[in-house]
């Protein structure tokens, strides 16, 4: 997968993970929250959250506070996590599908008391007084099973606090604003402030596992079960993908068939009800598991594209079969389906990115290097699903931005802002970053910056005036970034420090992670945590992004990479020096 998507570098996080639809009509979910007979909650909290990877929830798309437990949430159609909780009660969550076909989704929610460990060795109080930092929490004293804190000078009356039991680390949130994250080994407790003392009584909480529940009625009542099956498929996909590395074409074909069979079984189990979601998974996951990739792999060996070999593969029968399969899947997409969030789009858009590496072979096959982009743009014209339409435009616009096709990219990015203003790429500011990136053209003055390196030294771009500077915007979390590091290290050793300076700026990283990575990989050039102001100034929308700056502080080249990085930079420098000499003679 990485080979064919070698230029589909990591997008700004969170752009494609928001899967709630953005159609114009609103839909709703209503129901009732109940609590144990011996416990009455003052308020119940319930919200809808976009489905995303991991346990954490993002900002709710719809949220309600209820005194009697009844609720009605209005939102745009799409796939969501429905979550409910109350102080002192375990939270519950379930993935649901909300549609706009006039059917009101109904959910009956049952909450149970929070659980405490049977064996309690310590209880601490955490709150505003210590910035909700568990490391600064205050110890409580055990008095026959009741843990008390009598010295309350640091506490503020009528404020919220929480208990930390047995030093279990956990996030703490204001339940009115954000979800209280709870699971089997992480529990938070809301205290009661009384007469200047705080008391934690284990008798107020359950000590046996008793999980609450959500029961959804209606046409899509089995959606969570479907998603459980898709989770199992994703697990199988990851295992199979790992087995494919270094495997023969025969093994790759076998693994491809196993995954296809699994999706067939899921589709059959749910009688085709979620056929569009199965189809989207088939496109997103299996396109880059196709056996033809084994023929493609050698073309990208060593980080240098062998365009002749790639062209031979594209001209071959196996690639023709791959294209026929992909085209057939795309023809089955219902562009008006409310279930689709566009997650498969970036996979298809990436195919054009490697077709462009062998334009002659593509032309001989009767194709165009934007073959799949045209198909996606046709979908965008027909769809009423705004999330799908926005994702199509952003995927294509981002690739054009990365390739610095300024006029084409700008037209598409501006179209997103006008036609899909609620798309996550717009609301999260990524389209604006991409537009800013288009202004960072060759010859533009590179924005100045000053940072502190991971070793504590001061680093200013202006200090390197009179040298060439290579800036790498990267992250330890970014696979393509990590694969480029050896090439950058090789290049840094090739040039003298007086000639060229390499600078690494990481984003979405911690100081500890970067220090460890730099030390482990013997990275010789300075690195720093890149401030958001710097990434905005340079219009960073993908990682890695690189800039080569000339002696006068102007951008000489962008996005140089690969196994021939040193050669590319030598050519850029030689051309710049020749131009400078020629102008000097004039």
Judged against a pLDDT cut of 60, whether residue 84 lies above it is answered with yes
Whether residue 95 is found in the same domain as residue 229:
no
Let me know: does 108 contact 69? Beta carbons within 8 Å: no
User: In this structure, what DSSP letter does residue 228 have?
Assistant: H
Work out how many domains the chain is built from and give that number.
Answer: 4
Whether residue 282 is found in the same domain as residue 301:
yes
Per the domain annotation, does 395 fall within a domain?
A: no
Contacts of 226 (CB under 8 A, 6+ apart): 266, 270, 273, 274, 277
Measure the CA dihedral 84/88/90/92, to 10°: 0
Euclidean distance between CA atoms 184 and 89, whole angstroms: 13
Q: 447 pLDDT band (50/70/90 cuts)?
A: very high
pLDDT at residue number 54: 52
pLDDT at residue number 1: 39
pLDDT at residue number 381: 94
Q: 20 pLDDT band (50/70/90 cuts)?
A: very low
Euclidean distance between CA atoms 438 and 400, whole angstroms: 10
Per the domain annotation, does 5 fall within a domain?
A: no
Euclidean distance between CA atoms 246 and 259, whole angstroms: 18
Per the domain annotation, does 516 fall within a domain?
A: yes
Judged against a pLDDT cut of 90, whether residue 498 lies above it is answered with yes
Residue 208, classified by CB atoms within 10 Å of its CB into exposed (0-12), middle (13-18) or buried (19+), is exposed
Whether residue 50 is found in the same domain as residue 191:
no
Per the domain annotation, does 6 fall within a domain?
A: no
Out of 213-227, 358-372, 442-456, give the one with best mean pLDDT.
442-456
Instruction: Identify the domain boundary among 366, 384, 402.
Output: 384
> Nearest CA to 461 among 449, 474, 444, 473?
449
Task: Find the CATH number of the domain harbouring 468.
Answer: 3.40.30.10
Please state the rounded mean pLDDT for residues 429-442: 88
Please state the rounded mean pLDDT for residues 154-165: 65
Whether residue 102 is found in the same domain as residue 135:
no
Please state the rounded mean pLDDT for residues 243-247: 86
Judged against a pLDDT cut of 50, whether residue 412 lies above it is answered with yes
Q: 170 pLDDT band (50/70/90 cuts)?
A: very low
Q: Which segment of 125-129, 289-293, 305-309, 409-413 scores lowest on mean pLDDT? A: 125-129
Whether residue 138 is found in the same domain as residue 103:
no
Let me know: does 302 contact 487? Beta carbons within 8 Å: no
User: In this structure, what DSSP letter does residue 461 have?
Assistant: G
Euclidean distance between CA atoms 511 and 514, whole angstroms: 5
- Greater model confidence, 93 or 414: 414
pLDDT at residue number 153: 65
Let me know: does 25 contact 7? Beta carbons within 8 Å: no
Instruction: Identify the domain boundary among 170, 204, 238.
Output: 204
Euclidean distance between CA atoms 477 and 79, whole angstroms: 27
- Within 13 Å and on the Cβ side, how many CA atoms surround 393? 29
Contacts of 327 (CB under 8 A, 6+ apart): 375
Whether residue 338 is found in the same domain as residue 468:
no
pLDDT at residue number 177: 28
Q: What is the mean pLDDT of the chain?
A: 82
Whether residue 350 is found in the same domain as residue 280:
yes
Whether residue 250 is found in the same domain as residue 199:
no
Whether residue 184 is found in the same domain as residue 252:
no
pLDDT at residue number 155: 64
Please state the rounded mean pLDDT for residues 383-393: 91
pLDDT, one tens digit per residue, over 310-360 is: 889 888 899 999 999 999 999 999 998 888 888 899 889 888 877 888 888
Please state the rounded mean pLDDT for residues 423-452: 90
Please state the rounded mean pLDDT for residues 500-510: 95
Q: In 257-272, which positions are buried (b, 16+ CB within 10 angstroms) versus exposed (e)?
A: eebeebbeebbeebee
Q: Which segment of 134-138, 155-159, 310-314, 466-470 scores lowest on mean pLDDT? A: 155-159
Judged against a pLDDT cut of 70, whether residue 293 lies above it is answered with yes
Q: Is the pTM of this model over 0.75?
A: no
Per the domain annotation, does 1 fall within a domain?
A: no
Per the domain annotation, does 415 fall within a domain?
A: no
pLDDT at residue number 33: 94
Please state the rounded mean pLDDT for residues 365-376: 90
Other Cβ atoms less than 10 A from the Cβ of 474: the count is 27
Judged against a pLDDT cut of 80, whether residue 75 lies above it is answered with yes
Task: Find the CATH number of the domain harbouring 37.
Answer: 2.60.40.180
Q: Which segment of 66-70, 371-375, 581-585 scores lowest on mean pLDDT? A: 581-585
Euclidean distance between CA atoms 192 and 199, whole angstroms: 7
Per the domain annotation, does 299 fall within a domain?
A: yes
Judged against a pLDDT cut of 70, whether residue 187 lies above it is answered with no
Per the domain annotation, does 436 fall within a domain?
A: no
Whether residue 463 is found in the same domain as residue 533:
yes
The CA-CA-CA angle for residues 32, 80, 112, to 5°, reads 40
pLDDT at residue number 365: 82
pLDDT, one tens digit per residue, over 136-147 is: 888 888 887 777
Out of 74-88, 115-129, 447-461, give the one with best mean pLDDT.
447-461
Judged against a pLDDT cut of 50, whether residue 169 lies above it is answered with no
Judged against a pLDDT cut of 70, whether residue 95 lies above it is answered with yes
Euclidean distance between CA atoms 503 and 524, whole angstroms: 10
Whether residue 483 is found in the same domain as residue 367:
no
Whether residue 335 is found in the same domain as residue 375:
yes
Which domain covers residue 98, as residue numbers? 27-113+211-217
Instruction: Identify the domain boundary among 384, 403, 436.
Output: 384
């Amino acid at each position: 997968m990485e080979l064919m998507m070698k230029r589909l570098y990591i997008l700004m996080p969170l752009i494609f993970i928001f899967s709630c639809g953005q159609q114009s009509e609103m839909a709703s979910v209503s129901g009732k929250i109940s609590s144990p007979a011996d416990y009455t909650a003052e308020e119940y909290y319930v919200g809808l959250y976009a489905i995303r990877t991991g346990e954490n929830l993002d900002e709710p798309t719809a949220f309600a506070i209820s005194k009697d437990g009844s609720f009605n949430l209005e939102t745009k159609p799409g796939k969501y996590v429905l979550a409910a909780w109350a102080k002192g009660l375990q939270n519950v969550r379930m993935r649901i599908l909300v549609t706009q076909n006039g059917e009101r989704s109904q959910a009956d929610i049952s909450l149970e008391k929070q659980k405490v460990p049977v064996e309690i060795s310590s209880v601490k109080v955490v709150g505003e007084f210590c910035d909700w930092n568990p490391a600064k929490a205050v110890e409580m004293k055990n008095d026959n099973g009741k843990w008390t804190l009598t010295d309350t000078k640091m506490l503020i009356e009528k404020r919220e606090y929480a208990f930390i039991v047995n030093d279990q680390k956990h996030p703490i949130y204001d339940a009115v604003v954000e979800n209280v994250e709870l699971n089997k080994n992480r529990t938070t407790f809301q205290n009661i402030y009384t007469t200047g003392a705080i008391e934690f009584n284990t008798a107020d909480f359950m000590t046996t596992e008793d999980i609450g529940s959500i029961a959804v009625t209606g046409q899509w009542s089995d959606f969570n079960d479907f998603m459980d099956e898709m989770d199992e498929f994703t697990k199988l996909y990851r295992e199979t993908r790992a087995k494919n590395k270094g495997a023969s074409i025969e093994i790759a074909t076998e693994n491809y068939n196993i995954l296809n069979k699994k999706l067939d079984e899921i589709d059959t189990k749910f009688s085709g009800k979620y056929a569009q979601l199965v189809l989207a998974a088939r496109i997103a996951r299996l396109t880059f598991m196709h056996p033809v990739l084994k023929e493609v792999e050698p073309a990208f060996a060593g980080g240098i594209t062998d365009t002749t070999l790639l062209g031979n593969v594209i001209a071959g029968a196996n690639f023709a079969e791959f294209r026929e399969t992909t085209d057939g899947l795309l023809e089955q997409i219902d562009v008006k389906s409310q279930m689709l969030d566009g997650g498969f789009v970036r996979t298809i858009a990436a195919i054009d990115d490697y077709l462009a590496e062998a334009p002659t072979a593509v032309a001989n096959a009767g194709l165009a290097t934007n073959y799949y982009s045209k198909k996606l743009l046709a979908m965008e014209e027909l769809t009423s699903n705004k999330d799908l339409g926005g994702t199509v435009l952003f995927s294509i616009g981002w690739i054009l931005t990365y390739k610095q096709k300024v006029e084409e990219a700008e037209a598409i990015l501006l179209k997103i802002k006008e036609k899909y203003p609620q798309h996550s790429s717009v609301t999260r500011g990524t389209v604006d970053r991409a537009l800013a990136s288009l202004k960072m053209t060759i010859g533009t003055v590179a924005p100045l910056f000053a940072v502190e390196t991971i070793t504590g030294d001061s680093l200013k771009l202006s200090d390197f005036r009179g040298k060439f500077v290579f800036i790498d915007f990267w992250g330890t979390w970014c696979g393509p970034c990590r694969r480029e590091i050896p090439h950058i290290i090789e290049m840094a050793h090739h040039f003298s420090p007086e000639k060229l300076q390499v600078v690494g700026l990481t984003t979405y990283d911690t100081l500890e992670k970067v220090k460890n990575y730099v030390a482990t990989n013997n990275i010789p050039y300075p690195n720093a945590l890149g401030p958001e102001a710097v990434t905005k100034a340079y219009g960073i929308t993908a990682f890695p992004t690189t800039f080569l700056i000339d002696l006068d502080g102007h951008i000489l080249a962008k996005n140089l990479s690969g196994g021939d990085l040193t050669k590319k930079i030598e050519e850029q420098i030689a051309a710049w020096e020749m131009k400078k000499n020629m102008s000097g003679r004039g």
